[in-house]
C-alpha cells in the first residue's frame, strides 16, 4: 500500500475512535466500567483475527474499525478506574507517580512484545502470525478484568438502582457541567495535541529502521524481512525499556518544575523539536542519528502523559471521570487523524524527512491554541 493509503487507514482508526469515545465514556460511567473494558477487549480479539486474515485495504479497514472501538471503550475507562481507586484510599496526591508506574509497566510489556514479535517474524518469515499470537495475552487480560472488584465498576457517588436511561441522562448532565471548566479544557488540549502528533508519527520509525537494517553488514545470510525483524525487535526493546524508565520518573520530574502548565509546554516543544531534527537528519541521510532523535518523540510522550492525566483527574468530578477522559481521547483522535492524513500525503508527495519536519513544526504551534483557554474558570 502507498503511504497515503496507510495515512487514510490511520485516520479512519482515529476518526472511528473519536465517534465512539464519548458514548464509550458515558456507557462506562453509567452502566459499568468493568463491562466497558470487557467489551473493549472482545473487540480487540476480533480485530486481531481480522488483521491475521487481511490481505487488502478494505479488510484492514474493518480491522482498524474494530480496534478503534476497543480503544474507545478502554482508554478513559481504565484511567478512571485507577483514579477512583486512588481517591477511595485518599492516595490522590500520588496520582502522577502511580499512573507513571502503571505506564512504566505497560512500556516493559511493549518491550518484551517487540522482542517476541521479532522472533516470530524471524522464524516464520511473515508478520501476520504476530496478530494471532497476540490473542493469547488478550484472553488472559479478559480473565483478569473479570476478577476486578465490583466496587470499581461504578464511579463513587452514583445512586444504585437507577434505571438505565435515567442513569445515562444523569451522567450526561454531570458530564456537560464538568467539561465547562476552562482548566479541564486547557489540560485536555495540552495533553491531546502532543499525543495526537505522537500517534500519527510514531510508526514511521519503522521505514527508517528497515533502511538502516539493510545497510548494515550483519545477518547477511538472512532474508531482508528477517534482518529487518531482528533490528526492529532490538531497537523497539531498548526504546520501550527507555520509555518505561522515563514514565516511572514523571512524578519526580513534575515536582522540580515551576508549574504543571510550564512542564507540559516544555515537554511538548522539546518532543516536537526532536521530531523536527530527526526529519532534518533523514533528509541528509544520517539514519542512525534520525532514529535516535525520533525516539525522543516516544520519551516525551511517556514523560508528560501521567502528568496530563493527573491534571485532568484533579479538575474533574469523579462521577464522570471516564467521560471526561474520553473527551481527552477524542481530542487525541482528532489531532492524530489530522496529523496522519497530512503526514501520509506529504511523504508520498515529497519525502519521509520533509513530511516529519512539517508535521513536527505544526505540532509546535499547538500551544498557541491552548493559550486561548488561559483565563477564566468557566467557559461562557
* Domain coordinates in residue numbering, the chain: 3-149+165-372
Flag whether pLDDT at 66 surpasses 80. Answer: yes
Distance of alpha carbon 135 from its chain centroid, rounded? 20
Give Rg (Cα) of the chain: 21
Say how many Å lie between the first and final Cα of the chain, rounded.
46
Flag whether pLDDT at 43 surpasses 80. Answer: yes
pLDDT of residue 39: 92
Helix ranges, 31-128 (H): 33-53, 57-88, 95-124
- pLDDT-derived band at 127, boundaries 50, 70, 90: confident
Which of the pair, 372 or 10, is modelled with greater confidence? 10
Please answer whether residues 9 and 64 qualify as being in contact, where contact means their C-beta atoms are separated by less than 8 angstroms.
yes
Task: Scan for cell 534520525, then name that residue.
Answer: 290
Pick left, alpha or beta for residue 271 (phi over 0 → left; psi -120 to 50 → alpha; otherwise beta): alpha
Q: What cell does 63 get? A: 480491522
Q: How do residues 279-333 score in pLDDT, each as one tens digit? A: 999 898 888 898 889 888 889 998 888 888 777 777 666 666 666 777 777 778 7
pLDDT of residue 175: 58
Average pLDDT over residues 259-263: 81
Please answer whether residues 38 and 89 qualify as being in contact, where contact means their C-beta atoms are separated by less than 8 angstroms.
no
Average pLDDT over residues 18-46: 84
Q: How far apart are CA 147 and CA 237, in angstroms?
A: 30
Q: Is 181 helix (H, G, I), strand (E, B) or coil?
A: strand
Measured from the Cβ of residue 380, the count of other Cβ atoms closer than 10 Å reads 5
Q: How far apart are CA 202 and CA 214, in angstroms?
A: 21
pLDDT of residue 375: 46
Flag whether pLDDT at 170 surpasses 70. Answer: no
Q: Which residues pair with 181 in a beta bridge?
A: 378
Helix ranges, the chain (H): 3-30, 33-53, 57-88, 95-124, 129-146, 164-178, 182-201, 205-215, 224-248, 250-254, 260-283, 287-314, 321-349, 352-364, 366-370
Q: How far apart are CA 340 and CA 361, in angstroms?
A: 14
Q: Is 378 helix (H, G, I), strand (E, B) or coil?
A: strand
pLDDT of residue 10: 82
The CATH class that applies to domain 3-149+165-372 reads: mainly alpha
Contacts of 10 (CB under 8 A, 6+ apart): 64, 199, 200, 336, 337, 340, 344
Amino acid at each position: 500500500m502507498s503511504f497515503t493509503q496507510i495515512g487514510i487507514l490511520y485516520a479512519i482508526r482515529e476518526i472511528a475512535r473519536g465517534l465512539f469515545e464519548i458514548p464509550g465514556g458515558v456507557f462506562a460511567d453509567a452502566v459499568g466500567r468493568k463491562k466497558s473494558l470487557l467489551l473493549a477487549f472482545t473487540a480487540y480479539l476480533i480485530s486481531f483475527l481480522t488483521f491475521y486474515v487481511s490481505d487488502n485495504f478494505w479488510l484492514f479497514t474493518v480491522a482498524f474499525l474494530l480496534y478503534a472501538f476497543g480503544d474507545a471503550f478502554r482508554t478513559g475507562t481504565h484511567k478512571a478506574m485507577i483514579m477512583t481507586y486512588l481517591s477511595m484510599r485518599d492516595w490522590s496526591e500520588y496520582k502522577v507517580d502511580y499512573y507513571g508506574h502503571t505506564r512504566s509497566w505497560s512500556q516493559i510489556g511493549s518491550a518484551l512484545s517487540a522482542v517476541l514479535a521479532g522472533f516470530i517474524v524471524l522464524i516464520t518469515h511473515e508478520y501476520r502470525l504476530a496478530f494471532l499470537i497476540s490473542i493469547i495475552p488478550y484472553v488472559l487480560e479478559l480473565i483478569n478484568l473479570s476478577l476486578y472488584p465490583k466496587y470499581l465498576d461504578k464511579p463513587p457517588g452514583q445512586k444504585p438502582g437507577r434505571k438505565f436511561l435515567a442513569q445515562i441522562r444523569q451522567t450526561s448532565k454531570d458530564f456537560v457541567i464538568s467539561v465547562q471548566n476552562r482548566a479541564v479544557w486547557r489540560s485536555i488540549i495540552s495533553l491531546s495535541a502532543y499525543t495526537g502528533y505522537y500517534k500519527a508519527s510514531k510508526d514511521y520509525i519503522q521505514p527508517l529502521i528497515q533502511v538502516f537494517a539493510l545497510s548494515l553488514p550483519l545477518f547477511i545470510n538472512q532474508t531482508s524481512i528477517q534482518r529487518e525483524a531482528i533490528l526492529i525487535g532490538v531497537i523497539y526493546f531498548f526504546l520501550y525499556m527507555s520509555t518505561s524508565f522515563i514514565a516511572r520518573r514523571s512524578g519526580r520530574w513534575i515536582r522540580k518544575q515551576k508549574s504543571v502548565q510550564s512542564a507540559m509546554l516544555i515537554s511538548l516543544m522539546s518532543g516536537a523539536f526532536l521530531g523536527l531534527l530527526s526529519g532534518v537528519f533523514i533528509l541528509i541521510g544520517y539514519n542512525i542519528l534520525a532514529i535516535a532523535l525520533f525516539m525522543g518523540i516516544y520519551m516525551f510522550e511517556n514523560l508528560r502523559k501521567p502528568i496530563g492525566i493527573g491534571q485532568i483527574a484533579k479538575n474533574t468530578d469523579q462521577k464522570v471521570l471516564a467521560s471526561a477522559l474520553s473527551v481527552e481521547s477524542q481530542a487525541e483522535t482528532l489531532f492524530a487523524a489530522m496529523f496522519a492524513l497530512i503526514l501520509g500525503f506529504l511523504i508520498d508527495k515529497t519525502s519521509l524527512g520533509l513530511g516529519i519536519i512539517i508535521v513536527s513544526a505544526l505540532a509546535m504551534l499547538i500551544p498557541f491554541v491552548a493559550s486561548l483557554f488561559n483565563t477564566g474558570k468557566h467557559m461562557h
